[in-house]
Every structure is written in structure tokens, then in C-alpha cells.
């Protein structure tokens, strides 16, 4: 296990996952799960490890909504280290089929599970500001709490913005979002992509 820990620490230190997508609203680049997966590949043979992602459907009765638990695992064939993320699935999202609703949640969950495993910080300050992560996490939390909660009217405009091609992260840089609100925006984004592919 000590050897696997050392390999993971090396990868965490050396891994550089590019930010291939640009947020024109917030004027910053951000990464997707695909960027992280692509960056990991050169390390697999070099360190003789494998990386896998598994998903599990979890029902939480208190919120009456399904959740997807994504688990990213690095293994050397004998030992394994895991990191997880939990993402809600909004089955009431209009205009989307069930497969699309779960697909959007799946993509989001995988990104954060991989980020947790490889210590990739995708907070607003790391992606959206000019300090490039130099500010402390405490300052980041203070700034996050200071953002206003999005109103119903603003949420409607945010959905229209995403439907027109805007990025969800741009909304997150300006407003505090609940899990459900963020999922609604992500699902709208997936719906737009599916419509674009079909046309």
C-alpha cells in the first residue's frame, strides 16, 4: 500500500489537466472530466497502475431524489485508493429524457470524483480569477458565502443563458446555487448539446 500511496502522490504532483473549454461570460478557461482522463493516460503505464470510475445509484429518502455516487479508483493490481462524489439527478426536469438526466449527472459526478482523487481544485478562484489559486481556501469560502443567492427571475434568465450556449460555471461565479438549481442548469446544458448534435 505504501508503494501505491507514493505513486498516487507522484501523479498528484505531476498531473497537469488542461482547461480546454472557455467561459466567455466569466472570461476564464475550465476543465471537463475528459480533460482529466486524457491527462491521466501517460501515467498509467509509467507507474503500472489503472484508473477506473464506477457509479452507484443511491436513493436518499429525506430529499426524495436519486443520487449518483461516482467512485474514482487507482489500483496497482493489489491495492486500491478510492475517492467519491455525490450528484443529485433531477427527474422533474422538463424537456429531457431520463437517460439525458442521468447522463448529465454522471458527467458532473465523474469530474469531481477524479478531481478528489488527483487533488484537482476546480473551485471558482482556481478557474475564474487572476490569482491562480494563490489565495487561501479560507478566502475562497468567504467569497463563496458573500455571493448573492439567485432569485427566481434571475434563475429564469440563467436557464435562457445556458440554453443559448452560455456556461453553467459563469452563473456559479456570480450567484450561490442550490444543488437542484445547479442540476437544472447542467441538465439544460446537456439538452442544448443533444439538440445541437441532432440538428
pLDDT confidence band for 130 (50 / 70 / 90): very low
pLDDT confidence band for 129 (50 / 70 / 90): very low
Q: pLDDT of 48-85, one tens digit each?
A: 999 999 999 988 776 677 888 999 999 999 999 999 99
Q: How many CB atoms lie within 10 A of CB 163?
A: 15
Domain ranges of the chain: 2-198
Q: Is 74 exposed, middle or buried (0-12, 13-18, 19+ CB in 10 A)?
A: buried
H/E element, 65: strand 65-75
| Average pLDDT of the segment spanning 89-110 | 79
Question: Which DSSP state fits 176?
Answer: B
Cell numbers that stand for 26 in this block = 466569466
Confidence (pLDDT) at 44: 96
Confidence (pLDDT) at 133: 44
Q: pLDDT of 25-55, one tens digit each?
A: 777 777 888 899 999 999 999 999 999 999 9
pLDDT confidence band for 15 (50 / 70 / 90): very high
27-36, 93-102, 150-159, 175-184: range with lowest mean pLDDT: 93-102
State the sign of the Cα–Cα–Cα–Cα dihedral 76, 17, 13, 73.
negative
| Average pLDDT of the segment spanning 176-191 | 83
Under a CB-based contact definition with an 8 Å cutoff, are residues 88 and 106 in contact? no
| Average pLDDT of the segment spanning 13-35 | 81
| Position with higher pLDDT, 196 vs 139 | 196
Residue 75, CB-side half-sphere exposure with 13 Å CA sphere = 12
Does residue 96 have a pLDDT over 60?
yes
The CA-CA-CA angle for residues 82, 90, 74, to 5°, reads 10
Averaged pLDDT of the chain: 80
H/E element, 85: strand 80-88
Q: Write the CA distances from 4 to 73, 95, 100, integer angstroms.
A: 12, 45, 36
Residues 6+ apart with CB under 8 A from 143: 124, 125
> 18: helix, coil or strand?
coil
Q: Taking the model in full, what pTM does it have?
A: 0.57
Confidence (pLDDT) at 37: 92
Cα(169)–Cα(162) distance, integer angstroms: 10
Confidence (pLDDT) at 32: 82
Confidence (pLDDT) at 6: 94
State the sign of the Cα–Cα–Cα–Cα dihedral 186, 188, 194, 196.
negative
Q: pLDDT of 158-174, one tens digit each?
A: 888 888 888 888 788 77
Amino acid at each position: 500500500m505504501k508503494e501505491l500511496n507514493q505513486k498516487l502522490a507522484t501523479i498528484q504532483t505531476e498531473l497537469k489537466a488542461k482547461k480546454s473549454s472557455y467561459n466567455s461570460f466569466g472570461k476564464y478557461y475550465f476543465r471537463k472530466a475528459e480533460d482529466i482522463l486524457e491527462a491521466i493516460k501517460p501515467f498509467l503505464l509509467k507507474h503500472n497502475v489503472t484508473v477506473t470510475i464506477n457509479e452507484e445509484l443511491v436513493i436518499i429518502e429525506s430529499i426524495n431524489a436519486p443520487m449518483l455516487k461516482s467512485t474514482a479508483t487507482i489500483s496497482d493490481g493489489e491495492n486500491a485508493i478510492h475517492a467519491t462524489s455525490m450528484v443529485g439527478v433531477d427527474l422533474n426536469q422538463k424537456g429531457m429524457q431520463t437517460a439525458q438526466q442521468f447522463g448529465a449527472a454522471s458527467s458532473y459526478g465523474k469530474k469531481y470524483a477524479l478531481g478528489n482523487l488527483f487533488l484537482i481544485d476546480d473551485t471558482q478562484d482556481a478557474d475564474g480569477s487572476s490569482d491562480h489559486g494563490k489565495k487561501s481556501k479560507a478566502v475562497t469560502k468567504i467569497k463563496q458565502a458573500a455571493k448573492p443567492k439567485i432569485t427566481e427571475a434571475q434563475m429564469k434568465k440563467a436557464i435562457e443563458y445556458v440554453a443559448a450556449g452560455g456556461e453553467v460555471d459563469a452563473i456559479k461565479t456570480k450567484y450561490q446555487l442550490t444543488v437542484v438549481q445547479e442540476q437544472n442548469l447542467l441538465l439544460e446544458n446537456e439538452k442544448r448539446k443533444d439538440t445541437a448534435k441532432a440538428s
